[in-house]
């Protein structure tokens, strides 16, 4: 819960001008860092509080719909706090996040903690790089590079948003999350170094209503691009690519 205490401490040290948004989202599946963990619908609510122009607190959760075998190992709440700074066209964002898993006798998942640092260049397509470091149980690095943009379809009513991402982890991350689980007497993985594990594309069409409400249908496609990771996924019975549909209702206050 260090993120909560950090948020309270930081909130007391800054001048507050609070606003934010709350979102209720349903996805046709649950994909996390290149792994399709659940092919059935999930509920993923979130809350973001902007304490001022630089500091925000974010909470996000995921729950299986319906509850099924393995749900206790997937249900999770993320709590994060971040600080943003911009210098002309250069935007920096750093912070900390806690991944808190459902406490259950049926799961061995341990809560994990990361710090992250991101950089965005304010030019067309908004190239962004964000690097995460797990300083808790795993001590691994994970990075995401993305491009994003939007264009109006109906002025002040409907937009089309897109995002392309490529992501991967360091050698230890790949070993812990991809290769060790797939290694047995007949399959041995010994790849070294960083690997670009997967790419994804997201399309969303936010439809704005009065009083701060927005309906956001979306489509995500992801695909594993590394052959070693794909071979590991076959052994683990994980899909190498998939389409995920989503619908979200957002309120800005």
Among 9-23, 65-79, 162-176, the range of highest mean pLDDT: 162-176
User: How many folded domains does the chain comprise?
Assistant: 1
Going from the C-alpha of 168 to that of each of 97, 109, 115, 174, 178, the distances in angstroms are 18, 21, 16, 8, 11
Quote the pLDDT of residue 191.
Answer: 72
Structure tokens, 142? 């994970």
Average pLDDT (55-64) is 96
Q: Which residue has the tokens 């991809």?
A: 178
Quote the pLDDT of residue 14.
Answer: 57
Q: Which residue has the tokens 């989202």?
A: 25
Q: Dihedrals φ, ψ of 7, to 5°? A: -65, -45
How big is the chain by its Cα radius of gyration, in Å? 19
Which CATH number characterizes residue 243's domain?
A: 2.40.160.40
Q: Report pLDDT digits (tens) over 39-57.
A: 899 999 999 999 999 999 9
Distance CA(118)–CA(188), nearest Å, equals 35
**Residue 103 binned pLDDT confidence (cut-offs 50, 70, 90):** low
Containing structural domain, residue 119: 2-252
Structure tokens, 32? 């996390």
**Is the predicted pLDDT of residue 109 greater than 50, yes or no?**
yes
**Residue 4 binned pLDDT confidence (cut-offs 50, 70, 90):** very low
Q: Report pLDDT digits (tens) over 174-220.
A: 999 989 888 875 677 767 889 999 999 999 999 999 999 999 999 99
Quote the pLDDT of residue 162.
Answer: 98
Q: Is the peptide bond before 106 cis (omega within 30 degrees of 0)?
A: no
């Amino acid at each position: 819960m260090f993120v909560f205490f950090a948020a309270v401490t930081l909130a007391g040290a800054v001048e507050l001008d609070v606003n934010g948004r709350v979102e209720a989202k349903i996805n046709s599946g649950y994909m996390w860092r290149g792994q399709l963990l659940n092919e059935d619908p999930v509920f993923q609510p979130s809350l973001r509080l902007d304490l001022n122009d630089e500091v925000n607190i974010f909470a996000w959760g995921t729950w299986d719909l319906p509850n099924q075998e393995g749900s206790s190992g997937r249900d999770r709440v993320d709590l994060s706090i971040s600080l943003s700074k911009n210098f002309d066209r250069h935007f920096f964002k750093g912070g900390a996040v806690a991944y808190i898993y459902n406490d259950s006798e049926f799961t061995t998942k341990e809560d994990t903690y990361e710090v992250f640092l991101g950089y965005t260049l304010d030019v067309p397509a908004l190239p962004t790089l964000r690097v995460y470091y797990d300083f808790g149980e795993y001590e691994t690095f994970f990075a995401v590079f993305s491009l994003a943009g939007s264009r109006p379809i109906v002025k002040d009513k409907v937009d089309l948003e897109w995002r392309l991402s490529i992501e991967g982890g360091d050698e230890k991350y790949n070993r812990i999350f991809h290769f060790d689980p797939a290694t047995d007497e007949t399959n041995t993985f010994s790849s070294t170094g960083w690997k670009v594990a997967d790419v994804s594309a997201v399309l969303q069409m936010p439809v704005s209503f009065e009083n701060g409400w927005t309906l956001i249908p979306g489509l995500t496609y992801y695909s594993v691009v590394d052959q070693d990771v794909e071979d590991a996924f076959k052994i683990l019975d994980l899909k190498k690519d998939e389409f995920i549909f989503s619908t979200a209702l957002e309120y800005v206050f």
